[in-house]
Amino acid sequence: MNTKFRFKKEDRIIVLTGAGISAESGLKTFRDHNGLWEEHRVEEVATPQAFQKNPEMVWRFYKQRYFQLDEVKPNSGHYALKELEEYLGKNFFIITQNVDGLHRQAGNERVLEMHGSLQQCFCSKCYAHFKMSEVDLEPAVPQCGSCGGTLRPDIVWFGEIPYFLDEIDRILKKANYFLVVGTSGSVQPAASLVYLAKRYGAATIGVNLAEPENMHYIDEFHKGRSGEILPGLVEKWIG
């Protein structure tokens, strides 16, 4: 795997990850199986409207995904990014669309989970936040321990504003390199971050199994599985 880039310790590197980086951990991506995720069209379960109409169904879907986390662990792609953070320290950030927590489990600390986290939920009435592990998940629709309101997963659904957008803009402005891993580049605003980074002056690198939709903004593209090719690339970048 050849790359023309070499990272110096003072370079600022931002990584954007998507479902593809967790595929080799055994988690399904969203758009590689006829658009179906565990028999659901993702737009059917991942909207505030779906939750209003059928909170039991939406909770069933997210509880299943939350419990599935017990069975998965980070893969070599996640660990390669951990190595990159060890090398770059505060000059490094991961922005992830993933809600599986695998970057933190791999040891990365500078992670912005822009689409929320499966490990948390909050009350749709009083907005108190809870760890899933502290909540009674037995009822079909779990209730808030503080006010009795309806809890919802802390996931950014279609039509909602992702988290950390101000901070993301701030760090993108200073980035020398923007690396995109395992994302189809089809969901906004995450899909536009590569364009934004480029506009702010960063060199852009992609690692993906198939060409993403925003391929034209990527300066150097590596086609393949991130678990297989990221470790070698990181070696070269920081070697």
Residues at the contact surface with ligand APR, assessed by CB under 6 A: 18-20, 23-24, 29-32, 42, 97, 115, 182-184, 186-187, 208-210, 212, 225-227
Distance of closest approach, residue 29 Cβ to ligand APR, in angstroms: 3
d(CA 93, CA 202): 14
Closest separation in Å from C-beta 191 to ligand APR? 8
Nearer to ligand APR, 153 or 227 (CB): 227
Question: Least CB distance from residue 24 to ligand APR, whole Å?
Answer: 5
Residue 143 DSSP code = B
**Where do the H-state alpha helices sit in the chain?**
20-23, 42-45, 48-53, 55-68, 76-88, 102-106, 165-174, 193-199, 226-238
CA atoms within 13 A on the CB side of 4: 6
State the minimum distance, in angstroms, from the CB of residue 104 to ligand APR. 16
Q: Which is nearer to ligand APR, 137 or 209 (CB)?
A: 209
**Nearer CB in complex with ligand APR: 37/93:** 37
Active site residue 115: yes
Query: 63 exposed, middle or buried (CB, 10 Å; 0-12, 13-18, 19+)?
Result: middle
HSE of 239, CA atoms in CB hemisphere, 13 A: 11
Instruction: List the catalytic residue out of 115, 129, 216, 222.
Output: 115
**Annotated catalytic sites, by residue?**
115
